[in-house]
Amino acid sequence: MKKIYFDHNATTPVAEEIFEAMVSYLSDEWGNPSSIHWAGRAPKKAIDEARENVSALLNCTPQEVIFTGSGSEGNNLAIKGTVFSRKAKGNHIITTRVEHPSVMSTLKYLEREGFEVTWLDVDTEGMIDLAQLEKSITPKTVLITIMSANNETGVILPVGEIGRIARAHKVLFHTDAVQAAGKVPLNVKDINCDLLTISAHKLYGPKGVGALFVKRGVRVVPIIHGGHHERRRRGGTENVASIVGLGKACEMALRDMDEVSSRVRALRDRLEKGLMEKIPYTTRNGHPENRLPNTANLGFEFVEGESLLLNLDMLGIAASSGSACTSGSLEPSHVLIAMGIRPELSHGSVRFSLGRVNTAEDVDYLLNKMPPIVERMRSMSPLWSAEEGKRAEISFEEKGH
Amino acid sequence: MYSEKVMNHFSNPRNVGEVENANGVGTVGNPQCGDIMKLTIRVEDDIIKDVKFKTFGCGAAIATSSMVTELVKGKSLDEAEKISNATVAEALDGLPPVKMHCSNLAADALHSAIEDYKKNESK
């Protein structure tokens, strides 16, 4: 069966050169980097190099990089680590309604612990209102946490502006850059952020490793207490092979980003334009320009996302749904709902996220295979009137829940 | 995550469409969950002679709709009324737990269609 992967925002295949860089740290170089003796020396050097590579991608110093076990851990450390150390100053945090669950759930937990959170709305294109942000800042505000780019729609938020506002009000600014890293340039000095999260497996590196940039002088209390690792900010013997993989992934991202992003953008545009032309009642979710070059989030009216994904999967095409139904929750995507998209349409939304392995043939395969699937599903949908080629008027009894 | 039977009914659904001269229609749904089912039946002498469905929904919603049409075709109204959402799920070798409430509405649609038929008859 053909296998076509359009789900790079979920994870990416590990690049050959990254895998090769990692292997010796799972075999010959097994030492503990903290050891004083011969066994620890090569692993220690490898970690130092990886830290250099991460800092080069973000334009910070190596000392400002903390290795973590995932993007989620990075977000947890950035948020809890800063607000816990600033309890004396205040208890107010500002965020948006479209953050990743690792930010959202952390903030909901903090709300239960007595913190106050302002959840900024987004408009129909997924953008926040900067004036609204500035108005929300109070003397009690200790942290603004807003993602660099949204995982579902690819919408890029104005982090540079947010950083300037935060700085002017002397409030810390954290950005979850897990989706933006490697796809668009990230420079912590331009963004004006104090903390920034990345994850290796979105960059063709291994799962289970990430990094958090913490600006020099910004105090972060650990959430994993332990030894002296990571300047006492994250306990645990370093996951050497994975850290090497992350370092290599950052090196590769810095080297290849321009070339890969322009190629991927052309493929994404071909995919999006093609589907919107071939399938009537297809809408784009998210800002048309301010978004990642690899992501297209499209709503197909009158059909449901999981069914679409299952049908695509039977043809070897991997994509993901705006409907969180597929991930075990029953609610439609909180991101699309925050953008004011109707529940049925957000249930019928599909995210295609492209990557360096995709080709024009992959896109054309989708453009040939998908329109008949949607047509067949619409013919089965009570919301669609095939004879009239428009929405069917139906009323129904509410059941379930 | 789905059983083979679910995937079989999903990829090859039975009795799709709307029954001509239907004398019972049931439409149930939950747009929050993203599932809406419309079941049409033709009842003659208390027997369900024909049944068809149209469904907007996930894999489980389509498979349960398809399965319920197979279960009730040719059955008496009494027998059909005994079919529950659980019966349908069982006939499909089970559904993922998260789908049991939301996407398992096919029997509800059937009962609603039967009720509609009875209402039409008593007019």
Q: What is the DSSP string of A204-261?
A: TS-SS-EEEEE-TT-----SS--SSHHHHTS-S---HHHHHHHHHHHHHHHHHHHHHH
Comparing CA positions, the residue from B16, B17, B14, B81 lying closest to residue B48 is: B81
pLDDT tens digits for range A329-384: 567 889 999 999 988 788 889 999 999 999 999 999 999 999 999 999 999 999 98
Q: Domains in chain A, start-ordered, CATH in brackets?
A: 4-8+257-398 (3.90.1150.10), 16-253 (3.40.640.10)
Q: Residue A67: pLDDT band by 50, 70, 90 thresholds?
A: very high
Beta carbons of B16 and A379 less than 8 Å apart: yes
| pLDDT > 90? residue A400 | no
Is residue A60 flagged as an active site residue?
no
Residue A323, pLDDT score: 47
Residue B25, pLDDT score: 96
pLDDT tens digits for range A81-140: 999 999 999 999 999 999 999 999 999 999 999 999 999 999 999 999 999 999 999 999
Q: Which residues of A158-183 are buried (b: 16+ CB within 10 A; e: fewer)?
A: bbeebbebbeeeebbbbbbbbbbbbb
Pairing mode, if any, of strands A295-300 and A4-5?
unpaired
| pLDDT > 80? residue B102 | no
A296 DSSP β-pair partners = A352
Read off the pLDDT of each residue in A264-287 and give the average, rounded to a whole number.
97
Residue A322, pLDDT score: 58
**What is the average pLDDT score of chain B?**
92
End-to-end CA distance of chain B: 46
Q: Please, which residues 336-365 of chain A have a Cβ atom closer than 8 Å to chain B?
A: 343-344, 347-348
Residue A330, pLDDT score: 61
Beta carbons of B30 and A398 less than 8 Å apart: yes
| pLDDT > 60? residue A324 | no
- DSSP three-state, residue A340: coil
Q: Which of B27, B30, B34 sits opposite A401 (nearest CB)?
A: B30
Beta carbons of B112 and A306 less than 8 Å apart: no
Enter the ipTM: 0.93
| pLDDT > 50? residue B40 | yes
pLDDT tens digits for range A236-258: 999 999 999 999 999 999 999 99
Tokens of A394: 């139906």
**B115 in A contact zone (CB under 8 Å):** no
